[in-house]
Chain A
């Protein structure tokens, strides 16, 4: 069957099986920033943004995305230039192996879309569903705080 949606500001039609989870449809169509982790809604590696909110795509039926607007990590950079949030992750050493990074970025991006002036607690809450086996959490949290500050400056 056909699935109509908007992804990273592009209108798309995907061929899906009624039984597909969203992560499989996205990866099959080239959005490989979306990572397989636990597959049970615990780790956040598969996080995508659906209609402005962060969601675990591993436990989300693809069919639920009919007419939805999605953002994946591929959509964060513009014309080959990283977003401020991505820059801060790089600058502040918030990435080691990088497996958790797309999910972290999208959880943070969803937070900043809704709340451009987050408190430390808001950032910790927003990232609490993203597990990292390498850096720990201090640097990603610092990177999001720094990005929020830099984005205010950029406006």
Chain B
């Protein structure tokens, strides 16, 4: 089977700037990283004659300093799952999300940049990166930086121009790590199937156990992964109880717009989203040191 009927050239840029130059010069060019999305469902209807493969452009790495963790765009899901750094950082949420990401074979090839670039609402990494307040570095005519919240415009659409590429994901190390708890959860037909609903939360508390900051992100319940700002605001300044969490999640239907597909109906997704949101908040709060 020929994966792209009209493919004529395959480029291997050595640096992100080279990739951008090739994308700007060649009409009908597309970036490829692992290709797990592109070869299965990524081209739908678009004509592509040139592929620009960025997996040898020096973008596979994980680094940490005092303030930030930086993940290169072509780092694979397996590399994230197995990086010792992510076993501890933020209660291991990134590692956990990576481990629930389909199969070893896909994880070995699929990249974090491709996962965000594909802009699918079922992404397992996007909710985690939203909960961790990550930034996305993009290379085009110039270098830009976007907050992940706002990076997506709609299904399969991001704020990036067609010739721009993601180079790096930057995660701030929370200042009060000891009082911050993080959680990732995914509900699917199996442990590792594409999510029916997934999500992540990060909660920081003060000495009294009151919520100082909260971020909650849900996937597969709208066009793209979303932050649930109203729920977050409903938690601030409170000592959480099961009742308080339930109350905060009461109006979740206003925040989401679930769709029906082969995996679940819109109605089921709506019901599950509410339960999952509450579980995520509870897990993150307890991991932050809060008592329920």
Interface residue? B161 (CB, 8 A) = no
The answer to the question of A64 belonging to the interface, with a C-beta cut-off of 8 Å to chain B, is yes
Q: Mark B1-25, 1 if CB is under 8 A from A, else 0.
A: 1111101111000000000000000
A24 proximal to B (CB < 8 A): yes
A45-67 CB contacts (< 8 Å) to partner B: 47, 53-56, 58-61, 63-64
B7 touches A18 (CB 8 A): yes
Q: Name which of B2, B4, B8 has the most chain A CB atoms within 10 A of its CB.
A: B2
How would you classify the secondary structure of chain A's contact residues: helix, strand, loop or mixed?
mixed
What residue of chain A has the Cβ atom nearest to residue B190's Cβ?
Answer: A128
Residue from B9, B99, B104 having most chain A Cβ neighbours under 10 A: B104
User: When the two chains form their complex, are residues A53 and B78 in contact, meaning their CB atoms are under 8 A apart?
Assistant: yes
Question: Which of A19, A56, A64, A110 interacts with B7 by CB under 8 Å?
Answer: A19
Instruction: Check A61 against B105 for contact (C-beta < 8 Å).
Output: no
Q: How far is the CA of A59 from the CA of B105 in the complex (A)?
A: 11
A44: B residues at CB distance < 8 A: 103, 105
CA of A64 to CA of B38, assembled, Å: 14
**B118 in the interface, Cβ–Cβ < 8 Å?**
no
Asked whether any CB of chain A lies closer than 8 Å to the CB of B213, the reply is no
A87 contacts across to B, CB distance below 8 A: none
Q: Are A60 and B109 neighbours in the complex by a CB distance under 8 Å?
A: yes
B271 at interface (Cβ–Cβ under 8 A)?
A: no
Instruction: Look across to chain A and name the residue whose beta carbon is closest to the beta carbon of B78.
Output: A53
| Binary contact readout B103-129 vs A (1 if CB under 8 angstroms, 0 otherwise) | 111101100000000000000000000
Q: Does A72 contact B (CB under 8 A)?
A: no
Q: Contact between A56 and B106 (Cβ–Cβ < 8 Å)?
A: yes
Question: From residue B190, how far is it (CB to closest CB) to chain A in Å?
Answer: 8
Interface residues on B, range: 20 to 34
A29 at the interface (CB under 8 A from B): no
C-beta contact mask, B26-66 vs A, less than 8 Å → 1, else 0?
Answer: 00000010011001100000000001010100000000000
User: CB of B149 within 8 A of chain A?
Assistant: no
Residue B102, interface by CB 8 Å? yes
Bound Cα distance A58, B102 (Å): 16
Query: Are B2 and A56 in contact, CB atoms less than 8 angstroms apart?
Result: no
- How far apart sit A41 and B101, CA to CA, in the bound complex (Å)? 13
Give A103 Cβ to nearest chain B Cβ, in Å.
9
Which residues of the other chain, A, contact B106 by a CB distance below 8 angstroms? Answer: 41, 56, 129
Residues of A within 8 A of B99 (CB): 125
Min distance, Cβ B208 to any Cβ of chain A, angstroms:
39
B158 at the interface (CB under 8 A from A): no
CB-CB under 8 A from A39, the residues of chain B are: 1
8 Å CB contact of A59 from B2, B35, B78, B192: B35
B residues apposed to A, CB below 8 Å = 1-5, 7-10, 32, 35-36, 39-40, 51, 53, 55, 78, 99, 102-106, 108-109, 191-192
A contacts, CB < 8 Å to B: 17-21, 24, 39-41, 44, 47, 53-56, 58-61, 63-64, 107, 110-111, 125-126, 128-130
Given contacts A21-B1, A130-B103, 10 further A-B contacts (CB under 8 A): A17-B2, A19-B2, A21-B2, A54-B105, A54-B108, A55-B109, A61-B32, A125-B99, A126-B104, A128-B103
Can you list 16 A-B pairs with a CB-CB distance of less than 8 A? A18-B8, A19-B5, A41-B102, A41-B106, A44-B105, A56-B109, A59-B3, A59-B39, A60-B35, A61-B10, A61-B32, A61-B35, A111-B104, A125-B99, A128-B103, A129-B104
